[in-house]
Structure formats: C-alpha cells, structure tokens
Amino acid sequence: MTASAAIEIDHVWKFYGDYPALRDYTLAIGQGSCCALLGRNGAGKTTILRILAGLSSHQRGTVKILGGSPRSGDVRTRVGFLGHGIGVYEDLSARENLLFFARIVGLDNRSRTVDDWLERVGLARVATMPVRQFSRGMRQRLALARTFLHRPDLLFLDEPFTSLDDRAIAMLSQLLVEARERGSTIVLSTHQLREAMAIASHVALIENGRMRFAGERTVEMLEDPALLYRLHTELGAD
C-alpha cells in the first residue's frame, strides 16, 4: 500500500455481544487507490464498509479516514456511500431526492448540479416522477446519482454491481473510472470478481473477520480472478 494512506484501519475489533465480527483487522488504503474487499458471505466485508461509512462503531483499535474519525462531519462531507439499499425516497421525485441530498452535503448550485446528474444518468425526462413509479433500472441509476452527486473523494460501495442491469453496470464502471482519474479513493466489496479485478488497484481478502491477504492487484489476479481465494483460503486456518 502507498505511503500516504487515505484510510487506516489499525487492529480493529468489532463485537456483536461477545462474538468478534472483526478480529484484529488492519488495512491501509492509499490515496487514489481502488481496493476491492473480497470474501465470502459473512466474512466481514459489510462490517468494514459500515465502519468506514460511519454507520457502525468498533470496540477496539482505530480507524482514520483522511486523518479524521469516520463519524466526523468533515469526513462525511467527502464520502459517497452505496449500501445494499438504494437510499432514495419512494414518495419523492428523482429531482426532489437529489435536491435533498445536495442540500445535506452542502452543495452550491444545487439545482444545476442535480439537473446535470439527472441528464447524465438518463432520468431527466422522468425527473418529476415519484420514484415509486420507477423501474428497477431507473432506481439503480438514481442511486448512483445520489452517491456520486457531490464528487466524493472517498467512495464506499457495498456490492455495487449486484442486481444492476447492463446499462447501470456500464454507468457505474464509467463513474468509477472517472472517480479514480480525479484521485478519489474507492473501497468496494463484491462477489463479481471479474469486475472487481478490472477496476481495482489493490485487493484485500477477509475471512471470518480476519485479514487473509492485502496487496496490489496483479496481472495473475486479473487473468484468474479466483486465484486469491484458492491461495489464501487453502493456507488460512482459524
């Protein structure tokens, strides 16, 4: 990992009661890199992302994002988060949803920015329609607009490719490429190994809340996305 770490997770433990969901987890993610969090269901990927997004707290260790706490308002101004849910209100229109989030993140020129994004994600013609009347693909694109609305420096995406249609996948991939080009730091969890390896500069494998591997994404991983699982889950033992 690079010297200037945007994200530092240092010996973090997260407990649910006495059960450790994360065990002595350490990971540093450099500024401008894209880290794919890999691991099977229940490994701890969502737990890490929720801690980074400030949705969950940890009991031991430290987490620093751009030198500050994940719960700090300044940090969260620079974060874009996309979880399992799309995070938009069914009874508001697409435009109203984006205007609300634009207001929350303190964007200037809200109206213009929102209109530009609606155009970008192909929802300009249905901007005033309530989200409850949207198709699944339209909702997904609106969720992407909400996440990327304020051009965040940090992106935390939990299985973003899951359930996306082709148009949304293409859109998301493009948005991620642009984010990387402007130097944003991206952490995403995914089961879609091919998409992950294509976009990630680094990978981190987690198993039973423990770090199994963290390092640069190699050409071998790109050619054989399942390589990491084969190597490190065979060797790893609790």
Query: Which residues here bind other proteins, judged by CB under 8 A?
Result: 15-19, 42, 53-57, 59, 71, 73-74, 76-77, 79, 81, 83-92, 96, 100-101, 103-106, 130, 139, 146, 156, 208
CA distance 77 to 97: 17
CB of 48 to other proteins, least distance (A): 14
CB of 86 to other proteins, least distance (A): 5
CB of 208 to other proteins, least distance (A): 6
Residue 76 neighbours by CB under 8 Å, 6+ apart: 54, 70
CB of 164 to other proteins, least distance (A): 15
CB of 106 to other proteins, least distance (A): 7
**Nearest CB to other proteins, comparing residues 14 and 180:** 14
| The Cα angle at residue 145 between residues 191 and 159, in degrees rounded to 5 | 10
Q: CA-CA distances (angstroms) from residue 238 to 17, 138, 194, 209, 214?
A: 20, 43, 28, 10, 18
**Nearest CB to other proteins, comparing residues 46 and 190:** 46
**Nearest CB to other proteins, comparing residues 138 and 221:** 138
| The Cα angle at residue 78 between residues 77 and 79, in degrees rounded to 5 | 95
**Nearest CB to other proteins, comparing residues 33 and 47:** 47
Instruction: Quickly count: other Cβ atoms within 10 Å of residue 220's Cβ.
Output: 12
Instruction: Quickly count: other Cβ atoms within 10 Å of residue 51's Cβ.
Output: 25
**Nearest CB to other proteins, comparing residues 4 and 16:** 16
Helix (H/G/I), strand (E/B), else coil: 178: helix
- Of residues 68, 19, 70, 63, the one with CA closest to residue 44: 19
